Structure 1
Amino acid sequence: MSRASWSAAGLALALLLAGCATGPGRPGVPVADTRAGAEVVQQARARRLAEITDWGFQGRLAVSTGDRGGSGRLDWSQRGEGYVAALSAPVTRQSWRLRGGPEGAVLEGLEGGPRRGGDADALLREATGWPIPVRALADWVRGLATPGARVGYGADGRLQRIEVDGWTIEYQAWWPASGRLPEMPARIQATRADARVRLVVDAWEVEGE
């Protein structure tokens, strides 16, 4: 597997987990004058992404619930319906590896050995306290709405917000299209009640590129 030719260096300087106002360059921005036009652009993205079954990303994650929080790295590898998510928290020197798919999930890196369960969200929350919506994350991180979602677009025709199951997912910066990938999210924030998940994607990769 080779990574898409997107450098993380510029983003690392400009996009901190604390948030900033600007994002990566946007050459060839698609312009949609109406919601219908924006939906056409989004449908075209969805079709391109549906053809890519093996993909991954590396990024930085910050999670908070009330007065509790944590941050670290997230490396995600997707192969068809199966995924491996490796989380590491440098401050606490903890790391976890979550493997999942239609058959359930296994969380490794815990005292007492691996834990298994049918609900990856609950498994991760019980073990780490992090309210990460794992089951929906593979869609959200790529800028795809899950069933029943309300979708909002910006003036430039890009996806701006998804609201579903009490979560609000905001797309704050985008990487330009590269190779087989269309424009992809670079900075995302998801909130529900007092829970907040922030993700900065440093690099996307696609099998065969």
Structure 2
Amino acid sequence: MGSALAVALLAGCATPPKPQAAPGEQAWSGRLALTVQGEQPFSAGFELKGAPEQGELTLLTPLGGTAGVARWAPGSATLRTDKGTREFGSLDELATQVAGAPIPIAALFDWLQGRATQVPGWNVDVSQVPQGRLRAQRTSPPADLRLAFEH
């Protein structure tokens, strides 16, 4: 899928319904686009809830169907797709397998709250978080993560 098509799909995605969070739990929904050098660009709707220690990330197709659900807790992570369920030892391992390179999902919780938590090799711009926009870029291998979201 070319970048223009990925951007078109991203722009055309309807914002998914706001995920329901348990008391004391954070939740966001919106659209994301990820480009990793050497990998196919990826875009999807998303619902993220929980915390870095335990949570759930649901990726949605442009038509609102579920493309996959990642769940994690201390010491384990699972990914459920239409191809089955895969087990991982950690959220970082799951994110690396899915995206083709390490993605700091744990830091994403801080970033979505407007805190520019430093992650080695990543530069994050949280200046537009109040407007529901976030961008993070990795230097090596190059990656660009963009989110448009509601809290």
Matched residue SS, 2:110: helix
RMSD: 2.7
Classify 1:145/1:128 alpha carbon distance in 2 versus 1 (closer, same or farther; 3 Å). closer
The answer to whether structure 1 residue 64 and structure 2 residue 35 are counterparts is yes
Deviations 1:80-107 (A, max 9, x none): 942111012328x771101012232111
Classify 1:85/1:130 alpha carbon distance in 2 versus 1 (closer, same or farther; 3 Å). farther
Fraction of identical pairs, as percent: 31
**1: CA distance between counterparts of 2:59 and 2:123?**
23
Q: Residues 108-123 of structure 1: matches in 2 within 5 Å?
A: 108-111=80-83, 113-123=84-94
The answer to whether structure 1 residue 82 and structure 2 residue 51 are counterparts is no
Matched residue SS, 1:114: strand
Query: In the alignment, which of 176, 182, 187 is matched to residue 133 of structure 2?
Result: 187
The answer to whether structure 1 residue 96 and structure 2 residue 65 are counterparts is no
**2: CA distance between counterparts of 1:115 and 1:145?**
31
Displacement of 1:61: 0.0
Displacement of 1:186: 1.4
Matched residue SS, 2:92: helix
Residue 45 of structure 2: aligned partner: 73
Matched residue SS, 2:113: coil
* TM-score, length basis structure 1: 0.52
Classify 1:104/1:139 alpha carbon distance in 2 versus 1 (closer, same or farther; 3 Å). farther
Q: Which runs of 5+ in 1 are unaligned?
A: 1-16, 19-51, 150-163, 176-184, 205-209
Query: RCO (CA 8 Å, sep 6+): is it higher in 1 or 2?
Result: 1
Residue 124 of structure 1: aligned partner: 95
Question: 1:83 is aligned with what amino acid?
Answer: G
Displacement of 1:144: 2.5
Deviations 1:51-98 (A, max 9, x none): x8312011110000125311111101116942111012328x771101
Classify 1:127/1:79 alpha carbon distance in 2 versus 1 (closer, same or farther; 3 Å). closer
Matched residue SS, 2:126: strand
Is the 8 Å Cα contact of residues 136 and 145 (structure 2) preserved in structure 1? Answer: yes
Classify 1:114/1:128 alpha carbon distance in 2 versus 1 (closer, same or farther; 3 Å). farther
**2: CA distance between counterparts of 1:80 and 1:135?**
4
Query: In the alignment, which of 127, 144, 164 is matched to residue 115 of structure 2?
Result: 144
Matched residue SS, 2:132: strand
